[in-house]
Amino acid sequence: MKKENCLFCNLANGVFATNTVYEDENFRVILDIAPAAKGHCIVLPKEHFDDALTADPEILGKAMAVAAKTGNALMKAYNCQGINIVQNNGAAAGQTVFHLHIHVIPRFDNDGLVLNKAGQNETDENLAIIAKEVAAAF
């Protein structure tokens, strides 16, 4: 279902003009208007889901397949050395538009782009405690 006041629903469904690079019955892939790198694309489901945690699992799987297809197209178009596939859930994780979307970003050796930082090493004991806490939440 499309949400009328959702910018990404409107972009995905052709209400607003986009620089579309791919489209099928479930998705539209557009260029990001504030790209992290040349060719940075966004995979947009035409149906509204706030994020991956609330999305229909079938659509979520198809979205990742479209992201992979987009990554392969970017590799072919730009001969890049890698691809970031990024999906944020919730404001604390960096999500700014609350419509499920996946960023596909071309990467080049020594491009200087930093998307994440490594965390700190945990002790085996702490990892065992954390594993039990998360497993219990399933």
Q: Which residues are catalytic?
A: 101
| 32 phi/psi in degrees, rounded to 5 | -70, 135
- Tokens at 52, concatenated: 């991956």
Task: Report how far residue 64's alpha carbon sits from residue 49's, in angstroms, rounded to the nearest whole number.
Answer: 15
Q: What is the C-alpha radius of gyration for the chain, rounded to an integer number of angstroms?
A: 17
Task: Report how far residue 36's alpha carbon sits from residue 99's, in angstroms, rounded to the nearest whole number.
Answer: 19
First-to-last C-alpha distance (Å) of the chain: 28
State the Cα torsion 7-12-13-17 to the nearest 10°.
Answer: 80
Give me the residue label for tokens 């001969």: 79
